[in-house]
Chains A and B, each alone.
Chain A
Amino acid sequence: MNPLSPQQVRDLARFVALTRDRELNCSECRDAAGELAERRLAGLPLDTTLERVEHHLQLCPECTEEFRALERVLREST
């Protein structure tokens, strides 16, 4: 594995800055991701739980990748 790239160093600093005492983990994020995607698509407001899902997405590239794929599916299914 290589030393970190400049982008990866920026990611590390960003992750540290965004860290909260309490966060959702990936499973909890995935459980609520469907609701977040549906509400975003419909332009509906988000509650505290869904804001915590958005926060997890800022910290987790894997969940973000999957969430974008889910959003694409929902957009093309409507």
Chain B
Amino acid sequence: MPPPEPGLPLDWPESLRAADNGAAIVVLRTHLAVRLRVALSDRTDVSEAQIEDFVQESILRVLSQLDRYAGRSRFLTWATSVAINVAFTELRKKRWQDVSLDALVEAGRHLTEEPLAEEAPSGGDEERTRLLESLREAIALHLTERQRAAIAGELQGLPFDQVVSLLGTNRNAAYKLLHDARLALRRHLIAGGTSAETIRTVFAP
């Protein structure tokens, strides 16, 4: 159990669940506003009005998710992680709002119809080239169109929530879709005699 935060409610969840939670919400709002400004301090595309909106939305999210706080960190740390998720999710959504499901499926198709884009092989890169071809083959053989689309979106930085929305599913199902896809690719490579350690070594940054 982490130490209490000086000057703050000893039991945040209880204070926020109480019928007279107004004072606790005011304190929480003040702290989240300060902390979100720090979290977003290197972003030049965020206005003060947006931060206020993020704080408001974060308060609602914290109140609705109080049962998820397990007490293993300070409450404000947990609430800050919720607020950061609210803000970053919204900012990502704006950047990618014009991507369509067709574009996502098309990007997934690229993964199988041509060699995976890589630097031109030079001396000693034969193993890398072989692994890439094996990976492309595994994507074509073992993944569904939805899995290819989800992987393409993830690799290109499409927000996970948007992948979920474009595929018309929910977060858990989409996460399982991606996880199953990665497992299938891994099993294919291992069945071909390539260990996970070899993959890591060959593609180390």
Q: Which residues of A contact B (CB under 8 A)?
A: 1-6, 8-19, 21, 23, 25-27, 30-35, 37-38, 60-62, 65-66, 69-70, 72-74, 76-77
Among B156, B182, B205, chain A packs the most CB atoms within 10 A around the CB of: B182
Contact A73 B80 (CB under 8 A): yes
B28 within 8 A of A: no
Contacts of B141 in A (CB 8 A): none
Whether A30 touches B81, Cβ cut-off 8 Å, given contacts A9-B132, A77-B35, is: yes
Describe B's contact surface by its main secondary structure. Answer: helix
Whether A38 touches B77, Cβ cut-off 8 Å, given contacts A9-B132, A19-B179, is: yes
From B39, B73, B135, give the contact of A13 (CB < 8 A): B135
CB distance from A61 to the nearest CB of B (A): 7
Whether A9 touches B38, Cβ cut-off 8 Å, given contacts A16-B182, A17-B200, A38-B74, is: no
B59 within 8 A of A: no
Among B70, B186, B205, chain A packs the most CB atoms within 10 A around the CB of: B186
B62 within 8 A of A: no
Q: Kindly state the separation between the CA atoms of A37 and B110 in the bound complex, as whole angstroms.
A: 38
Whether A17 touches B199, Cβ cut-off 8 Å, given contacts A4-B116, A9-B132, is: yes
Contact B203 A34 (CB under 8 A): no
**Per-residue A-contact encoding for B39-56, CB less than 8 Å = 1, 0 else:** 111000000000000000
| B residues 85-134 touching A (CB-CB < 8 Å) | 85, 88, 92, 99, 103-104, 106-107, 110-111, 114, 116-119, 131-132
CB distance from A1 to the nearest CB of B (A): 4
CB distance from B194 to the nearest CB of A (A): 9
Contacts of A77 in B (CB 8 A): 35, 38
B152 within 8 A of A: yes
Q: Kindly state the separation between the CA atoms of A16 and B179 in the bound complex, as whole angstroms.
A: 9
B84 within 8 A of A: yes
